[in-house]
Amino acid sequence: MRVILVSGPSGSGKTTVARLLAESRLSPSVHLHTDDFYAAIRQGALAPYLPEAHEQNRIVTGVIARAAAGYAAGGYHTVVDGVVGPWFLGAYEEAAEAARVGLLYVVLRPDRETALARGTSRSRHPLTDRKVLDRIYDGFADLGPHERNVLDSTGLTPEETADAVLARR
């Protein structure tokens, strides 16, 4: 089994695609939504996009990575969705190696306007501020050696995107 890490900027469709993968494309499967791990912090939580949240983000990322690897080691296809840039990929690589499971890192990156339009129009999401969303998008604009992990999902439906993720096996 392996961990499929579906990343990208806000509004890229990570959660929708991860849910599709876990609910209809893989079995047995687990879907870990990173926002849920951040929401578990009841006192002293910082918005993860703030620079001063780096240590909190490092800790939460490690917890998620180990949980994902644990599920995969137990025989589950494990899909994680979250804003995970290469700067936090090491935690997933270490956890996958320790658990002896595979890791697939895919960055969904539609064009900027598509991501910002989706991100600012979400009615049930706490983060819809265009300036913040634009800054998050900037973090994924040039991934250097990780550009090979980018999937341009601009013109794809969620189903087509899920299929394209699985095609990267």
What's the pLDDT tens digit per position in 63-103?
A: 999 999 999 999 999 999 999 999 999 999 999 999 999 99
- State residue 49's pLDDT score: 87
State the amino acid at position 135 in one-letter form: R
**How much is the pLDDT for 132?**
84
What CATH number was assigned to the domain covering residues 2-166?
A: 3.40.50.300
Angle (nearest 5°) at CA 56 between 64 and 131: 100
Q: Write the DSSP symbol of residue 13.
A: S
Task: Answer yes or no: pTM beyond 0.95.
Answer: no
Confidence of residue 165 (pLDDT cuts 50, 70, 90): very high
Pairing of strands 77-81, 150-151: unpaired
Strand partners, 29: 77
Q: Taking a C-beta distance cutoff of 8 angstroms, is the pair 71, 22 a contact?
A: no
CA atoms within 13 A on the CB side of 58: 6
Q: Indicate whether 134 pLDDT > 70.
A: yes
Question: Over 90: is that where the pLDDT of 58 sits?
Answer: yes
* Model pLDDT, residue 128: 65
Cα separation, 154 vs 16, in Å, equals 14
So where are the chain's domains? 2-166
What is the CA angle 41-115-94, rounded to 5?
A: 50
